């Protein structure tokens, strides 16, 4: 009877106001980044958060420990660039000790991954997502607006050798900037067990402002996923129908729809924030580096956890408050900043 009541409490805690089960927490471990990607951060950067406002390792671990009994099962460490955080390997090891966490992953630009890949795996990291918007050194520098002695293939091979799996490669596709590399990037999956995901650009921030200032429509930078798949289908190998859950990469149940070339070791996927909404199945929330629980990556609804952490107050009531306000769709879809409906209108 007591066990049944506890299970019912957990079931209620797992759902937001729209009935979606929330089990995935993205934890930003730093606001700093060594890139200034054109679609992400202004060239001059942003004012860095004061060190005393950032969550400590103890506080991050405490958040995960308190959310795990509420149904948290997956944790992804992000940034900024998470490999810039001192003591990252130790933090991974501590999070791995939280018994309820089934999947512990890292999103990175890969520039500092190779030297620590083995240490991360030994500490308990399961897998990595690596951003690779180009395979060409000059173009990497152009898109990242930083020059780093960086070979993305070497970083990915180091992750594979360390036993981090599955390896997912994120490519933000920008018309006229890197869309001529789609086939080259997709070909990485033919003889490697890697999963390349092509992500529709969300034209916001400085990049959109730059386009608008020159009289161009920022939406023209978006390459719809249907166009991406059409090009991949013309590569001379059969591109299979979307893989069912059993054929998609193990671990993770994010928004990508996966396909596989005939005989390929890996898969290609598309993530479609602009043309095909997947918000209805959203199962995640984000913890910012300074302790705000944000319920939508592209929204502004958030609840602060840091003060409660430092005062020793329980986080459960604040988490419930946050989930009660989680929006049904991200801000681009609600036309607050353009998006799906605006794009469909442009298309006719």
Annotation-wise, does 260 bind a ligand? Answer: no
Joined together, the tokens standing for residue 52 give 């005393």
Q: What share of the chain is helix, strand, coil (3-state, %, to 5)?
A: 40, 20, 45
Residue by residue, DSSP assigns 242-301 as PPPGGGSPSS---S-EEE-BTT-SSEEEEE-TTTS--GGG--EEEE-TTSEEES-TTS--
Annotation-wise, does 202 bind a ligand? Answer: yes
Annotation-wise, does 65 bind a ligand? Answer: no
115, 85 Cβ separation under 8 angstroms: no
343, 175 Cβ separation under 8 angstroms: no
Task: State the virtual CA torsion across 251, 164, 113, 94 in degrees, nearest 10.
Answer: 80
Annotation-wise, does 37 bind a ligand? Answer: yes
Strands (E) in the chain, as ranges, are: 24-28, 74-78, 103-108, 127-131, 167-173, 194-200, 257-259, 267-271, 284-287, 292-294, 302-304
Annotation-wise, does 225 bind a ligand? Answer: no
Return left, alpha or beta for 77; rule: phi > 0 is left, psi -120 to 50 is alpha, else beta.
Answer: beta
171, 184 Cβ separation under 8 angstroms: no
Cβ atoms within 10 Å of 265's Cβ, excluding its own: 13
Annotation-wise, does 26 bind a ligand? Answer: yes
3-state secondary structure of 189: helix
- Pairing between strand 267-271 and 103-108? unpaired
Annotation-wise, does 40 bind a ligand? Answer: yes
Joined together, the tokens standing for residue 212 give 């608008």
Joined together, the tokens standing for residue 330 give 């991200």
Annotation-wise, does 107 bind a ligand? Answer: yes
Annotation-wise, does 326 bind a ligand? Answer: no
Annotation-wise, does 237 bind a ligand? Answer: no
Which residue is associated with the tokens 């999956």?
A: 189
- Measured CA to CA, the distance from residue 200 to residue 273 in angstroms comes to 6
Annotation-wise, does 282 bind a ligand? Answer: yes
Annotation-wise, does 285 bind a ligand? Answer: yes
Annotation-wise, does 210 bind a ligand? Answer: no
Annotation-wise, does 76 bind a ligand? Answer: yes
Q: Which helix (H) or strand (E) holds 94?
A: helix 88-96
Annotation-wise, does 105 bind a ligand? Answer: no
Listed in sequence order, the residues at least 6 apart from 190 whose beta carbon sits closer than 8 Å to its beta carbon are: 237, 261, 263, 264, 265, 266
Which parts are annotated binding residues for [4Fe-4S] cluster? 33, 37, 40, 279, 282, 296
Residue numbers belonging to the annotated binding site for GTP: 26, 76, 107, 168, 284-286
Please report, in range form, the residues annotated as the binding site for S-adenosyl-L-methionine. 39, 80, 131, 202
Q: What residues are designated binding site?
A: 26, 33, 37, 39-40, 76, 80, 107, 131, 168, 202, 279, 282, 284-286, 296
């Amino acid at each position: 009877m007591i066990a049944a009541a506890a299970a019912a409490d957990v079931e209620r805690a797992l759902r937001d106001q729209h009935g979606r089960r929330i089990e995935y927490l993205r934890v930003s471990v730093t606001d700093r980044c060594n890139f200034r990607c054109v679609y992400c951060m202004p060239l001059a950067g942003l004012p860095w958060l004061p060190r005393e406002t950032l969550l400590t390792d103890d506080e991050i671990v405490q958040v995960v420990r308190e959310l795990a009994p509420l149904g948290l099962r997956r944790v992804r460490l992000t940034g900024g660039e998470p490999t810039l955080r001192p003591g990252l390997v130790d933090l991974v090891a501590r999070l791995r000790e939280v018994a309820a966490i089934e999947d512990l992953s890292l999103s990175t630009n890969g520039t500092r991954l190779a030297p620590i890949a083995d240490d991360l795996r030994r500490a308990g990291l399961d897998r990595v997502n690596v951003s690779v918007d180009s395979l060409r050194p000059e173009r990497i520098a152009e898109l990242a607006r930083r020059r780093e002695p960086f070979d993305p293939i070497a970083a990915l091979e180091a992750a594979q050798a360390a036993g981090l799996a599955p390896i997912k490669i994120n490519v933000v596709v920008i018309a006229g900037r890197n869309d001529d590399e789609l086939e080259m990037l997709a070909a990485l999956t033919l003889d490697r067990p890697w999963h390349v995901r092509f992500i529709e650009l969300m034209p916001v921030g400085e990049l959109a402002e730059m386009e608008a200032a020159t009289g161009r429509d920022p939406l023209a930078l978006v390459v719809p996923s249907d166009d991406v798949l059409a090009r991949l289908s013309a590569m001379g190998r059969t591109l299979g129908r979307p893989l069912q859950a059993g054929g998609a990469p193990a671990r993770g149940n994010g928004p990508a729809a996966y396909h596989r070339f005939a005989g390929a070791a890996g898969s290609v996927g598309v993530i479609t924030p602009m043309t095909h909404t997947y918000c209805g199945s959203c199962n995640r929330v984000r913890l910012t580096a300074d302790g705000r629980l944000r319920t939508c990556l592209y929204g502004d609804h958030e609840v602060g956890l840091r003060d409660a952490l430092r005062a020793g107050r329980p986080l459960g009531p604040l988490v419930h408050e946050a989930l009660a306000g989680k929006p049904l769709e991200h801000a681009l879809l609600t036309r607050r900043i353009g998006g799906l409906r605006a794009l469909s209108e442009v298309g006719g």
